[in-house]
């Protein structure tokens, strides 16, 4: 995984470009996919909370289809709970053109993120 971060001056947005590869061995065959996610977020202060709403677009190249086969658009906002936890509700729209017929998925989710430091 490789991520580039850039702070956009004046408007205080963080622009991230993450690239990663997934390697898969199933049923004796090997496939891989490249994932590129571009994300924009901004930290907002609300009372004692620091919220960071975000929007992202992720593009998937799948070797089994030999093309860019998925696009996922998502938005969410992590909410801190105490010192080590945050809840992240999100919405995602995914367009999968790998299989025939194409699939469009709309998903809502809730992630629990835990942050601990080594001593």
Alpha-carbon Rg for the chain in angstroms:
17
- 67-95, pLDDT tens digit by residue? 999 999 999 999 888 889 999 999 999 99
Distance from C-alpha of 83 to C-alpha of 33, rounded to nearest angstrom: 36
Distance from C-alpha of 107 to C-alpha of 17, rounded to nearest angstrom: 23
Residue 29 pLDDT level (bands cut at 50, 70, 90): very high
For residue 85 the two structure tokens come to: 């936890």
Q: What pLDDT does residue 100 have? A: 81
- Any idea what DSSP says for residue 66? T
Residue 50 pLDDT level (bands cut at 50, 70, 90): confident
Residue 62 has a CB neighbour count (10 Å cut-off) of 20
Q: What pLDDT does residue 51 have? A: 87
| pLDDT surpassing 90 at residue 48 | no
For residue 63 the two structure tokens come to: 């070797």
Distance from C-alpha of 33 to C-alpha of 92, rounded to nearest angstrom: 20
Distance from C-alpha of 118 to C-alpha of 88, rounded to nearest angstrom: 23
């Amino acid at each position: 995984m490789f991520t580039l971060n850039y702070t956009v001056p004046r408007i205080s947005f963080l622009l991230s470009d993450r690239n990663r590869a997934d390697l898969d061995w199933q049923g004796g065959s090997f496939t891989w996919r490249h994932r590129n996610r571009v994300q924009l977020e901004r930290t907002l202060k609300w009372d004692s909370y620091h919220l960071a709403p975000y929007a992202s677009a992720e593009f998937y190249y799948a070797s089994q289809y030999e093309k860019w086969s998925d696009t996922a658009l998502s938005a969410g906002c992590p909410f801190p709970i105490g010192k080590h936890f945050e809840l992240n509700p999100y919405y995602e729209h995914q367009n999968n053109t790998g299989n025939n017929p194409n699939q469009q998925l709309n998903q809502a989710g809730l992630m629990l993120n835990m942050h601990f430091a080594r001593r």
